[in-house]
Amino acid sequence: MLEDKNQQRTSLASLGEFGLIDHLTQGIELKQPGTLTGIGDDAAVLDFKDKKTVVSTDMLVEGVHFDLAYMPLKHLGYKAVVVNISDICAMNATPTQITVSVAVSNRFPLEALEELYGGIKLAAKTYGVDIVGGDTTSSQKGMILSITALGEAQAEEITYRNGAGDSDLLIVTGDIGAAYMGLQVLEREKEVFKVNPNNQPDLDAYTYLIERQLKPEARKDIKALLKSLEIQPTAMIDVSDGLSSEIIHICKQSGVGCNLYEEKIPADPQLISACEEFNIDITTVAINGGEDYELLFTIKMEDYDKLKGNPNFTVIGHMAKESEGVHLITRANTKIPLKSRGWNALQEE
Ligand SMILES: [Mg+2]
């Protein structure tokens, strides 16, 4: 849990709630012009002038969404911010502020919260967002982390899930599937460690996969990139639950169908070799894996030339009439209906 197991352990009770908040929020600077006041009053005051505000919130529960056996607290803090920022980016908006709420049991010393906040502050700095509020409280068991992200955009820039046309192209940024395989590698190492705690894992072949799982990044760059190419996406979503599930969200909300081409799905070489080693089908990983935090979006056919050849983007399919359904076209040219098998927070085990 703590990176240095021998470090000092200061009990949270010794600081009291206000002392703890003061301690954790030390050194927070406000950089966004839209932040009028941040932490320190009953509420933060923001001003987005003529722009629209987008808001997204997400809760992470220990044992459900993360396992501190292989997720260092600093990484957890970083990732919790990134996943919220990714949702702002998925609206084609610019992330601007976050609030951070944490509940912890008394098993966590102050030093653990310092590491968690270290990751949160690093992500805020990396993405240029202000930390403007939050709450710290105690829990009976484990840790609960809730982050709310705010962002801004011009009304006409905001991209919803329901704008895809039935002849639009489907595009994904970066590569997908790596975060899921990173988790498989970490889970395997955890089992090995249980049997032999002296075993030092050799993870060189999986560095990219593990980084995608433990330290994902949000595609804050894509809004500006699309703007510079003079492309306004018609629908957009981030790949948090898996490509298949995100495609179905866009199709349902836009009232269109889709053909996704297996051979087009972008995969990193490390993912290809890890799937061979684990004997897992790479397409299954890519379409059902999730947690890649890449952006999935649609564009009008006539915009294709503007992004053709750009290494950030891969055209992976095209939309269709709703009556045609949502399908994966395999390498063997068979048509398989796409199912939403992405991760579902409420599904029974
Ligand atoms: Mg999302």
CATH number at residue 311: 3.90.650.10
pLDDT, position 191: 85
Residue 83 lies in a domain: yes
pLDDT digits (tens, 9 = 90+) for 32-69: 999 999 998 889 999 999 999 999 999 999 999 888 88
175 labeled part of a ligand binding site: no
Query: Which of these ranges, 184-188, 192-196, 269-273, has the smallest mean pLDDT?
Result: 192-196
Do the annotations mark residue 56 as ligand-binding?
Answer: yes
Task: Give the contacts of 206 (CB within 8 A, at least 6 positions apart).
Answer: 181, 182, 185, 270, 274
Check whether 291 is labelled as a binding-site residue.
yes
Question: Confidence class of residue 8 from pLDDT cuts 50, 70 and 90?
Answer: confident
Q: How far apart are CA 25 and CA 44, in angstroms?
A: 14
One-letter amino acid at 270 equals Q
The answer on 210 and 149 residing in a single domain is no
What three-state secondary structure class fits 52? strand
**What's the CA-to-centroid distance between 156 and ligand 1, angstroms?**
20
- In a domain, residue 34? The reply is yes
Phi, psi of 333 (to 5 degrees): 65, 30
Of 233, 235, 244, give the one whose Cα is nearest residue 290: 244
Three-class SS state of 137: strand
| pLDDT for 284 beyond 90 | yes
Judgement on whether residues 259 and 308 belong to the same structural domain of the protein:
yes
Instruction: Give yes or no: residues 137 and 198 share one domain.
Output: no
Q: For residue 1, what pLDDT is reported? A: 58
Q: What is the CATH number of the domain that holds 75?
A: 3.30.1330.10
Which residue, 106, 126, 153, sits at the end of a domain?
Answer: 153
Q: Name the burial class of residue 29, with classes exposed (0-12), middle (13-18) and buried (19+) by CB atoms within 10 angstroms of its CB.
A: exposed
Q: Are residues 130 and 262 in the same domain?
A: no
Question: What pLDDT score was predicted for residue 18?
Answer: 81
Cβ–Cβ < 8 Å for 176, 134: no
| pLDDT value of residue 178 | 97
Based on the domain organization, do 27 and 91 belong to the same domain?
Answer: yes
What is the average pLDDT across 126-150? 94
In a domain, 346, yes or no: no
3-state helix, strand, coil in the chain (%, to 5): 35, 25, 40
Domain co-membership, 327 together with 240: yes
Question: Do 218 and 312 belong to one domain?
Answer: yes
Task: Compute the distance from residue 240 Cα to the ligand 1 centre, in Å.
Answer: 6
Q: Is position 87 annotated in a ligand binding site?
A: yes
Residue 316 has pLDDT above 70, yes or no: yes
The token pair at 40 is 């320190």
184 lies in a domain?
yes
Question: Any known ligand binding at 57?
Answer: yes
Report residue 345's pLDDT band, with 50, 70 and 90 as the boundaries. very low
Question: Of 98, 128, 153, which one is at a domain's C-terminal end?
Answer: 153
* Mean pLDDT estimate for the chain: 92
Residue 1 domain-assigned (yes or no): no
Query: Taking 70 as the threshold, does the pLDDT of residue 198 lie above it?
Result: yes
Q: How far apart are CA 176 and CA 241, in angstroms?
A: 11
pLDDT of residue 288: 92
Taking the centre of ligand 1 as the mean of its atom positions, its distance from the CA of residue 279, in whole angstroms, is: 29
74, 68 Cβ separation under 8 angstroms? no
4-8, 110-114, 206-210: which range is least confident on average? 4-8
On whether both 147 and 225 belong to a single domain, the answer is no
Matching residue, tokens 């932490």: 39
Ranking 72-86, 245-259, 332-346 by mean pLDDT, the lowest is: 332-346
Mean pLDDT of 206-210: 96
Alpha-carbon distance of 310 to 300, in angstroms, equals 16
- How high is the pLDDT of residue 349? 36
Does residue 85 have a pLDDT over 90?
yes
What is the CA(246)–ligand 1 centre distance, in A? 8
- Give the pLDDT score at 3: 58
Report whether 238 contacts 87 (CB < 8 A): yes
Residue 347 in any domain: the answer is no
Residues 31 and 93 in one domain: yes
User: Given a cut of 60, is residue 344 above it in pLDDT?
Assistant: no
| Residue 230 domain-assigned (yes or no) | yes
Domain that holds residue 317: 169-337
Q: Are residues 264 and 320 in the same domain?
A: yes
Please indicate, yes or no, whether residues 211 and 125 belong to a single structural domain of this protein: no
pLDDT at 74: 96
C-beta of residue 243 within 8 angstroms of C-beta of residue 108: no
Residues 40 and 178 in one domain: no
Residue 238 is assigned to a ligand binding site: yes
What is the share, in percent, of the chain residues with pLDDT greater than 90?
Answer: 76
Output phi, psi for 208, to 5 deg.
-65, -40
CA distance 79 to 123: 8
Confidence tier at 77 by pLDDT (50, 70, 90): very high
Domain end, chosen from 153, 184, 213, is at 153
Structural domains counted in the chain: 2
Confidence of residue 253 (pLDDT cuts 50, 70, 90): very high
Cα-to-centroid distance, 40 and ligand 1 (Å): 30
Measured CA to CA, the distance from residue 60 to residue 107 in angstroms comes to: 18
pLDDT of residue 2: 61
